[in-house]
Structure 1
């Protein structure tokens, strides 16, 4: 498989406060890469740095073998990078249908066609089209956030804590949906999470992040061993 994303020696900071320290990893086309860590360890900063929201202080980000440093957020989106942010950030006063339409570029026919595509991928949303985003459950909001991101047909989807605050039954549905996406469409996913079962079930490769440092890859056979994960991450899974 060829590389779609390569992060090389990436450092980032909020003002004078360092947040990432020489992070190295890559994502091949069509795979799911998981990054596991507690809150406050740098997961969200890494996602926002790749998307262009956080100032990078060192290193490089290559997308399709070209550096995207200095490229604006909207330009990265047009190149094929999408972010499903922590907290989902849907529009609470717009309906599900309106939330989808806002995300879809093109004329009315393209909007209608893409909306139909998203409803096929996320059938639970069909009965919720007229409901306001703010009236949805956390899990339903997450499904809408995923659909809204995918409506732009990204090559790379960045997922920031997709299971946060969601009931277990919806977590299973999200896991099944994402697993199905990797089989149905040409997409690469980088997933940051602290839910060990979720990230293990989806990811082809998993790294641990701690205090802004990306540790080495955790072998898949060790992901079911709480003691081994603790040794990599400094906490008991």
Structure 2
């Protein structure tokens, strides 16, 4: 049974439609990629699944149960974690405090959980006392990922994790995500514009354009930018 099922999902900002009958699923332990340019609906889809955007039609099932009535906090407690575009860390808190804030209300052993997550992010270990706002963009992205993992999500929604990040840290992020999926127990929905990054991680990749997600890109064509553009509707 899929961990996440999105069925005929439509969403809007006020009276402005943003998603149009989106269908896809993610199985346990799978990485599903959603590829699209800016303004095509990627972020809206992530925020709708998390509960930040009004759903106007369709259904979202998590582990077989509808989560549409659930609040953002209830979805997080159920095991859904969002790493948002722009990272949204606490700039005035230290790295360690950022990680602790992420799990302060979960009832877990905070010190043990932080230590466990930091094993995946050795770069952050030497930055624990540094303010989040003093980190580079790449280090902030690593912190955002680590903070999400501190809540031990079963499903991670990653919204353009490579945006504005230097290639070396993109490589760190990719390797960390590969470790997570290799260990099993975590499912990832990854929205991106970076073709190489998404192709290196996702088992299935869909194209989204103007709020419509109806085209799966064959894996053998992910290395051909022109073919990908055709699937996304940018080449005729």
Is the contact between residue 215 and residue 232 of structure 1 (CA under 8 Å) also seen in structure 2?
no
Q: TM-score, normalised by structure 2?
A: 0.97
- Stretches of structure 1 that go unaligned for 5 or more consecutive residues are none
Residue matched to 2:168: 169
- Going from structure 1 to structure 2, the CA distance change for 1:230 and 1:106 (only over 3 Å counts) comes to closer
The CA distance in 2 between the partners of 1:48 and 1:106, in whole Å, is: 22
Is the contact between residue 206 and residue 217 of structure 1 (CA under 8 Å) also seen in structure 2?
yes
The CA RMSD over aligned residues, in Å, is 1.3
Q: How many pairs align?
A: 235
The CA distance in 1 between the partners of 2:168 and 2:51, in whole Å, is: 33
- Going from structure 1 to structure 2, the CA distance change for 1:107 and 1:158 (only over 3 Å counts) comes to closer
The CA distance in 2 between the partners of 1:108 and 1:88, in whole Å, is: 24
Residue matched to 1:27: 26
Q: Which secondary structure does the structure 1 equivalent of 2:157 belong to?
A: strand
Residue matched to 1:76: 75
C-alpha distance after superposition, 1:120-174 (max 9, x if no partner): 0111100000000000011100110000001000000000010011011111111
Residue matched to 1:224: 223
The CA distance in 1 between the partners of 2:106 and 2:59, in whole Å, is: 36
The CA distance in 2 between the partners of 1:105 and 1:11, in whole Å, is: 34
Q: Which secondary structure does the structure 1 equivalent of 2:158 belong to?
A: strand
The CA distance in 2 between the partners of 1:132 and 1:107, in whole Å, is: 23
1:159 aligns with 2:166: no
Q: TM-score, normalised by structure 1?
A: 0.96
Residue matched to 2:178: 179
What is the 5 A alignment of 1:5-154? Answer: 5-105=4-104, 110-154=109-153
Q: Which secondary structure does the structure 1 equivalent of 2:180 belong to?
A: helix
Is the contact between residue 4 and residue 64 of structure 1 (CA under 8 Å) also seen in structure 2?
yes
The CA distance in 1 between the partners of 2:179 and 2:107, in whole Å, is: 28
Q: Which secondary structure does the structure 2 equivalent of 1:231 belong to?
A: helix
The CA distance in 1 between the partners of 2:234 and 2:94, in whole Å, is: 41
